[in-house]
Structure 1
Amino acid sequence: MLLRRLRWIIGFNHQRLSGAAIGTKRLPNVEKSPPVPPKPPPLPTKKRRKKPMLEAVHEVAIYIHRFHNLDLFQQGWYQIKITLRWEDDQNTIGTPARVVQYEVPDLGSAEYHGVWKIDDEDHSFTTQPFRIRYARQDVLLSVMVSFNLALGKFEGPPTSAVILKFELLYAPISVEGSVPQITMDPTSAAVHEFRIPPKALIGLHTYCPVHFDAFHSVLMETTVHITLLNGFIHSARSKVPSDPSALQDVTVEIVDKSKQVMLVRALLTARDILLEELKSLRKEMDQTIDMSDIDNMDDSKSISSWLRGPGVAVTEVPGEATGEKQMSSEISNGVIDIQSDEFLQSLSPAEILNAFNTLGSQVLYLWNSFLKLHRAHTKKILEHLHDLWANDRKAEWSIWMVHSKVDMHHHYINSMQPVLRKLTEDPAQSAAMRADLHRRSIEQMRINNRSIQDMHIFGDPLCIPIIIVERVINAPLRTSSGNSYFNNPSLRVSGLLNDISSKPKNKLSDESSKQSRVLKIVVFVHGFQGHHLDLRLVRNQWLLLDPKIEVLMSEANEDKTSGDFREMGQRLAQEVTSFVKKKMDKASRTGHLKSIKISFVGHSIGNIILRTALTEEIMEPYLRYLYTYLSVSGPHLGYLYSSNSLFNSGLWLLKKLKSTQCIHQLTYTDDPDLQNTFFYKLSKQRSLENFKNIVLLSSPQDGYIPYHSARIESCMAASVDNSKKGKVFLEMLNECLDQIRAPSQEQRIFMRCDVNFDTSSQGRNLNTMIGRAAHIEFLETDILRGLSCGHFPIFLGKKIFL
């Protein structure tokens, strides 16, 4: 009875609470409100579903092959640190995913300490420390590190570039007992960055040389490989509308389908790039590589089968209220154009997901196959990518080069008659204006390509020097001058016809010998009050092109450049002949000597010193082996028509106060009779005619050296001067050009190259006013910066330097 009563009380209270909850309580003078109808269940056809979110990741594989020390100033322990980040987001960085030591380091070539390291704080990779002892030392690192770079805020393919950073770390050496140790944490010595544009993030395979700076002259050979891989897939709920009735009419999609389609297309592109690269590499390999499974991927019919199934030509367009089916227009002869926008947009969410998964599996398989092939054939792939890189750079970096062909002017020929055609403009000013206009056009350019961009060049493109290259076409040989070299055999150097092969046969042997080699020697000669390492950067550029050359950095005239050019020439000739004999003896002991190529590089008055040395009798046996002559701002015609009044005043002071003999010779005041001066007599001697290649580097901004003198050409003042001075100048000019003109049966390359530096950052000071800034720029700045580090020959022709 009691239990029945309790149940009645509980039921009554529950009814009261329920009624209050739905608003059934009566209010005075208020009409009863109708009850709210219950929510209808959602229609089966409009059931809310989870939408898949597709995510992808870039994998960037960096192969560090070799570290070649050209000229590091300090011995010690060095390491390479690598990081990866988005250009517009400093906080989103790549994460090292895997490290592979694909070859065992050669312990005989270098000393190693410790192991490579991955830093979890800054997500960087650092190679194991290696010891550098001497210049031109090779260290084989042979390690591959790959970074994963998530798309992050990009729901589709990225629109931002990626910055790849190489950092050179240094630590001094401390020897404890007999074992060298690292005494402290390494410090950053230099940095080199590359920009990977968004287009390249889908797929890139390139050679990537790393040069740090002028104070850390090294070449680190790397190759960079990038692909797009699919990431994980997760679902996101649709947002519930505030109005419940809207659920019957609207299906909310969280993920933008167009971005999903772009991601699928990006995976298709990544797959095609990998397929193309693998097929290209297969052609480069000597042995046959079985790639039948990879070839089957490149088949549009098989692709259509996993997108929609075989023979299916219709698809349901999602979101249409009618539910009608539309016919796809991309099928032609059983082949689907899978790259078309119309086709990809017509795919259902399930088909997009299927395509994303299948393409991701294919790309991953191709990517792993490529990395495996790379490790198995590292040297051949490195050579292949290097050749492609050189060809691409020739086109890409040509925006800083202006090429032209000019004739050797005939109005220089008649040295005994006044020149009828007068120059109407200053050539130096004209060249400077031409370079300035070209620099302005570069400022308007938008460089947009798939190539990896060296930030030494592309970081500030306007700072790169503009180079105007003139290929001079030989004119007919001058015959009006009775003392022309080719018409007067008595002027030939007597020792030129002497065959050096008359020496013992172990010096030079039959060219057919398999062990024969060509001895290549390059002599670098500094300028006034210079140092033997002044041309170090030019030397390093040459070594990048040909590491086997023998280099002589002349020291014979260091601290002795104020005297007579004849004495300086004698000292240099003795130094060169001694060096050549020493290298010939060494080469003969290691094998047969096929031939010799002797090249000279001079800066400023070093060009006059080396030309004087070539007239010495002890040089005669070697004149036939002269190969390339590179003149860096040399006063070949002296200062007879110097227009720089400030610099001329300085020369006058040097002559008065210090009585410097070479300055008297440069200004033609060493003898009252111009025809008895040093420069006039030097022009009569055949110091240039034996070179196969002659390249004259000049700059219209260089006020230390007259522009026409560095280029061996006439000037406005000389063209209007009918006095004896003008006639002597034109006679000297013609004599020099006669030496440069090649006989018809010979091929000689003659180029004039104007280097126009960006001096805007230097401001207005004494150095820029007197022209010293540009004169020293050849030495203190890497000529042409990235264009010069072994790459200058790409534009002038490797034959000149090899």
Structure 2
Amino acid sequence: SNRTASNSEPGNTDYTSEDLKTSEDPAVGSHQAEFPQELDNQEHKLVANGTGFHSATMEGVALESRKSVDVVNLSVSCTATCLPFSSVLKETPAIVGFSSKQAAFPITRQPLGSFGVVSSSSNEMDEEANERMLNFYQAKEKFKKEMKIEGFLYSDLSVLASDIPYFPPEEEEENLEDGIHLVVCVHGLDGNSADLRLVKTFIELGLPGGKLDFLMSERNQTDTFADFDTMTDRLLDEIIQHIQLYNLSISRISFIGHSLGNVIIRSVLTRPRFRYYLNKLHTFLSLSGPHLGTLYNNSALVSTGLWLMQKLKKSGSLLQLTFRDNADLRKCFLYQLSQKTGLQYFKNVVLVASPQDRYVPFHSARIEMCKNALKDRHTGPVYAEMINNLLQPLIGAKDCTLIRHNVFHALPNTANTLIGRAAHIAVLDSELFLEKFFLVAGLNYFK
């Protein structure tokens, strides 16, 4: 089931979903959304195609509501897009070469600099901005007519996750009396501390003055092929030392992990030394995390490659991800980790997955059953137990909400795309995806 549990009242578990239906008025050419009260299994699909996201309905999946958020499909195109925020300047002395009216118009035609075209004449700038807006709306209407799926575009959204300009003209002094929000970013296999730099950048741009402190984990980057227990100890030491070194007063802690890094994060939550911080946990953003290992991977090429890499590197982590660290599956690291508490302490558990990613199975990143597991009478029951171990505490948690995001990328026909690597790293290096994801939903998880 793709329904997500959240609790509107203490002690009660409600399953809520909303059905988004779109209808197009041919006379106006715009799309209107209707939200019926009846619950229905429909999917809220967001598509980014240059000018914005696209919403459509599909059967079998519930969508996001105000209290509980379920499945959001993100489809990302490589087409250039416009900046989402119009940086509205306050009444401040004019900057040479800039007009105070300039910021009121979004940048809609590519390529342009971050601040648009600089003009010494406000009249010329107004005319140019009006021309750009006209071209934008004409292209937008043409795009709507060419789309086969009805819906609304990202640029039609009246409310985004943040309405603060990327570069506010006046920076207010941060008040750290209430503590800061520590965000720990953990890279994946054979990665480094710079892997999640764009994630950090878009969160900082979208939430200026948010009292955020980022810890870009680097303790494991020299050896990501070690076993999970070793890498867990390294990350835990790094977090505690960072807090003590800078004498941080922590109000909230969030984790962002990519690939293998998500398993390390979950393992840290189970350590006794981290118990003091469990009540401060806020958001867990999992980007293509193999929470159920790499079992039932549809790509024989990737499975063979992982097997060869494990043999060459003598990797303990790869051995554990493939459930070959113990003959008894219930004694394997990932199964035992699923039995330990941790995720239910977060306010938001956000799982981002892509069916185009063949490095990490789609169902493993989403923590759900797959067809092959249902047919497998030997490993399938153990697999189902792991899923139950992970999801039941989330369903029973009072203040925890589970959110699943399905991502579809427009990728070129390359070898990296064929083997699934392109989609696996697109959640890290695709500026278009990251900007749209955080503006539509992602920033809400870090407020």
TM-score range (shorter-chain normalised) is: 0.5 to 0.7
Provide the rounded CA distance (Å) in 1 between the counterparts of 2:219 and 2:270. Answer: 17
Residue 784 of structure 1, CA deviation: 2.0
**How high is the TM-score relative to the length of structure 2?**
0.64
User: Amino acid of the residue matched to residue 738 of structure 1?
Assistant: Q
Residue 582 of structure 1, CA deviation: 4.1
- 1:784 matched residue in structure 2: 433
Provide the rounded CA distance (Å) in 2 between the counterparts of 1:164 and 1:102. Answer: 28
Provide the rounded CA distance (Å) in 2 between the counterparts of 1:448 and 1:741. Answer: 31
> Aligned with 2:323: secondary structure?
coil
Mapped pair 1:559 → 2:222: yes
Q: 2:192 aligns with which of 526, 531, 548?
A: 531
Q: 2:202 aligns with which of 534, 537, 541?
A: 541
Alpha carbons of structure 1 residues 596 and 683: separation in structure 2 relative to 1, 3 Å: same
Mapped pair 1:620 → 2:275: yes
User: Amino acid of the residue matched to residue 395 of structure 2?
Assistant: R
Could you report, residue by residue, the CA deviation over 1:612-658 in whole angstroms, capped at 9, with x for unpaired residues? 11122211111111110000000000012222100001011112222
Q: 2:393 aligns with which of 723, 727, 739?
A: 739
> Aligned with 1:144: secondary structure?
coil
**How high is the TM-score relative to the length of structure 1?**
0.37
Residue 538 of structure 1, CA deviation: 1.1
- 2:446 matched residue in structure 1: 801
Greater strand fraction, Structure 1 or Structure 2: 1
Residue 709 of structure 1, CA deviation: 0.3
User: Amino acid of the residue matched to residue 523 of structure 1?
Assistant: V
Residue 555 of structure 1, CA deviation: 0.7
Provide the rounded CA distance (Å) in 2 between the counterparts of 1:540 and 1:694. Answer: 21
- 2:410 matched residue in structure 1: 758
- 1:574 matched residue in structure 2: 237
Alpha carbons of structure 1 residues 732 and 546: separation in structure 2 relative to 1, 3 Å: same
- 1:520 matched residue in structure 2: 181
Residue 662 of structure 1, CA deviation: 0.8
Name the Cα RMSD after superposition.
3.7
Q: Which has the higher contact order (CA 8 A, sep 6+)?
A: 2
> Aligned with 1:650: secondary structure?
helix
Alpha carbons of structure 1 residues 626 and 101: separation in structure 2 relative to 1, 3 Å: closer
Residue 200 of structure 1, CA deviation: 9.9
The 5 A counterparts of 1:642-661 are 642-661=297-316
Provide the rounded CA distance (Å) in 2 between the counterparts of 1:638 and 1:721. Answer: 16
Residue 546 of structure 1, CA deviation: 2.5
Residue 445 of structure 1, CA deviation: 8.2
Alpha carbons of structure 1 residues 103 and 654: separation in structure 2 relative to 1, 3 Å: same
Mapped pair 1:197 → 2:133: yes
User: Amino acid of the residue matched to residue 532 of structure 1?
Assistant: S
Q: 1:103 aligns with which of 92, 110, 116?
A: 92
Q: 1:717 aligns with which of 366, 369, 372?
A: 372
User: Amino acid of the residue matched to residue 113 of structure 2?
Assistant: E
Q: 2:317 aligns with which of 648, 662, 687?
A: 662
Identity %: 35
Could you report, residue by residue, the CA deviation over 1:10-58 in whole angstroms, capped at 9, with x for unpaired residues? xxxxxxxxxxxxxxxxxxxxxxxxxxxxxxxxxxxxxxxxxxxxxxxxx
- 2:58 matched residue in structure 1: none
Structure 1, unaligned runs of 5 or more: 1-99, 106-114, 117-124, 128-142, 148-160, 170-192, 202-395, 401-438, 453-513, 588-594
> Aligned with 2:344: secondary structure?
coil
Structure 2, unaligned runs of 5 or more: 1-88, 116-128, 159-174
Provide the rounded CA distance (Å) in 1 between the counterparts of 2:112 and 2:101. Answer: 13
Alpha carbons of structure 1 residues 612 and 578: separation in structure 2 relative to 1, 3 Å: same
User: Amino acid of the residue matched to residue 704 of structure 1?
Assistant: Y
Whether the 8 Å contact between 2:297 and 2:358 is mirrored in structure 1 is no
- 1:72 matched residue in structure 2: none
Mapped pair 1:167 → 2:108: no
Whether the 8 Å contact between 1:197 and 1:451 is mirrored in structure 2 is no
Q: 2:330 aligns with which of 675, 697, 703?
A: 675
Alpha carbons of structure 1 residues 162 and 586: separation in structure 2 relative to 1, 3 Å: closer
Residue 103 of structure 1, CA deviation: 2.9
Provide the rounded CA distance (Å) in 1 between the counterparts of 2:337 and 2:113. Answer: 50
Provide the rounded CA distance (Å) in 1 between the counterparts of 2:287 and 2:225. Answer: 20
Whether the 8 Å contact between 1:164 and 1:194 is mirrored in structure 2 is no
Task: Count the aligned residue pairs.
Answer: 321
Residue 145 of structure 1, CA deviation: 6.1
Provide the rounded CA distance (Å) in 2 between the counterparts of 1:448 and 1:705. Answer: 28
Q: 1:770 aligns with which of 419, 440, 443?
A: 419
Whether the 8 Å contact between 1:613 and 1:619 is mirrored in structure 2 is yes
Provide the rounded CA distance (Å) in 2 between the counterparts of 1:199 and 1:728. Answer: 57
